[in-house]
Amino acid sequence: MTYKLIIQPPALADLEGAYRWIAERSPQNAAGWFNGFLEALATLKQFPQRCELAPESKHIVQKIRQLLYGRRGGVYRALFTVRGREVHVLHIRHAARRTMTLEEFGGQ
């Protein structure tokens, strides 16, 4: 089954913010990182349930899954839900950051 991938506005803002941060420190790698992340997100169109539940799922009613992207100290987490035949990417965070709270998810 193929899923429709929907990147929510907060996730787009997170992705753009991460790109800007990387571009300031490593301009030669930023575009490749950004395009690679988009390619990784596109893989969620096929079997998104392969990704593990995110730690945030313990505190939120809906199942939040995470796709990890990057290496060593540059790992990012794409937090998403699967609703029917749609994958909703909710947020993108650096893996070193603390887990999101219910309030940060908008009280879901």
DSSP H/E element including 100: none
pTM, rounded to two decimals:
0.90
In this structure, what DSSP letter does residue 101 have? P
Phi, psi dihedral angles at 26 (to 5 degrees): -150, 70
Concatenated DSSP letters of 44-72: GGB-GGGSPBPGGGGTSSS--EEEEESSG
CB 32 within 8 A of CB 76: no
The pLDDT value recorded for residue 44 is 98
Interval 12-39: pLDDT, tens? 999 999 999 999 999 999 999 999 999 9
In the chain the domains, ranked by start, together with CATH numbers, are 4-94 (3.30.2310.20)
The pLDDT value recorded for residue 12 is 97
